[in-house]
Copies of this chain bind each other. A is one copy, B any other.
Amino acid sequence: MLKNKKPNIPLPSLSRLLTVYRLLEQLEKDGIASVSSSEIGKILGYKPDSIRKDVSFLGEVGNFGGGYEVQKLKRHISTKLELEKKRKTCIVGLGRLGTAILNYDDLLRNGFIVVAGFDSNINKLETINTALELFPAYEIAEIVRRKEIEIGVIAVPARSAQETADRLMEGGIKGIINFSPVAIEVKNSVMIRNIDLLGECMLLSTLLTFEENALR
């Protein structure tokens, strides 16, 4: 359980609700007006029951015989989870991955405003084509504090990840998204989510190799 008072939603339910929200966005774009919990369940691979239960954590929403109005449910989830809230975000490490995230529209559409980029390589900062303000990594704490940045995206190599997190925390960061393959230690008050993109890909490839060798 989360240590919040309202709404008190278990993490798996919260995670599913966010996925449902994104599906509803898609359905709305496609001009679909209503959807049942079993249709949602079929598309997302959840049980219809658990969707109804997840939605019920958010209080009453119009539900006619197992069906939801797409726009209404979407707005309901957005309001209850305060998804319209925009959070100032910075990206540290402007290699291939970092610059891709810099330009990742879906983030911008879903509550993140990227306000700064950092890299330890000052020469690199000059070569990146972006409207964003870029700074050398040693200024992280100062800029995070001055711009009141809430979320830091770490896209630096493994050995610089903890130092980057320390600088972000020195500046008062509230949450970290860690794309480095390293386990980062953070203060209790800081939220962290880890996404190891390359690691997952390499793991898949290695698992395939093992399969092949086993069948040989």
What is A's interface to B at a CB cutoff of 8 Å?
Answer: 2-7, 9, 14-15, 18-19, 22-23, 26-27, 30, 43-46, 81-83, 85, 87, 96-97, 100, 103-107, 110-112, 150-151, 157-159, 162, 174-177, 181-185, 191-211, 213-214
A45 touches B205 (CB 8 A): no
Partner of A5, one of B4, B9, B158, B214: B214
Contact between B81 and A206, CB atoms less than 8 A apart: yes
Give every chain B residue within 8 A of A46 (Cβ-Cβ). Answer: 183
Contact of A83 among B6, B193, B206 (CB under 8 A): B206
- With A110-B198, A157-B26, A206-B81 known as contacts, the answer to whether A181 contacts B97 (CB < 8 A) is no
Residues of B within 8 A of A14 (CB): 203, 206-207
A97 and B19 alpha carbons, distance in the complex (Å) = 17
Q: Is the CB of A23 within 8 A of B159?
A: yes
The residue of chain B having its C-beta at the shortest distance from the C-beta of A108 within the complex is: B96
- Given A103-B96, A158-B19, the answer on whether A4 and B210 have CB atoms closer than 8 Å is yes
Given contacts A181-B22, A203-B14, contact A191 B211 (CB under 8 A): yes
Q: In the complex, what residues of B have CB within 8 A of residue A15's CB?
A: 199, 203
The answer to whether B96 and A183 have CB atoms under 8 Å apart is no
Is there an interface contact between A158 and B22, defined as CB atoms closer than 8 Å? yes
Nearest B-chain residue to A202, judged by Cβ: B18
Chain B positions within 8 Å of A213 at CB level: 4-6
Also in contact, A195 and B200, with CB within 8 A (given A96-B103, A182-B44)? yes
Q: Which residue of B lies closest to A192 (CB)?
A: B204
Partner of A2, one of B6, B7, B83, B210: B210
- Residue among B150, B157, B211 making CB contact with A208, cutoff 8 Å: B150
Question: Residues of B contacting A112 with CB < 8 Å?
Answer: 201, 205
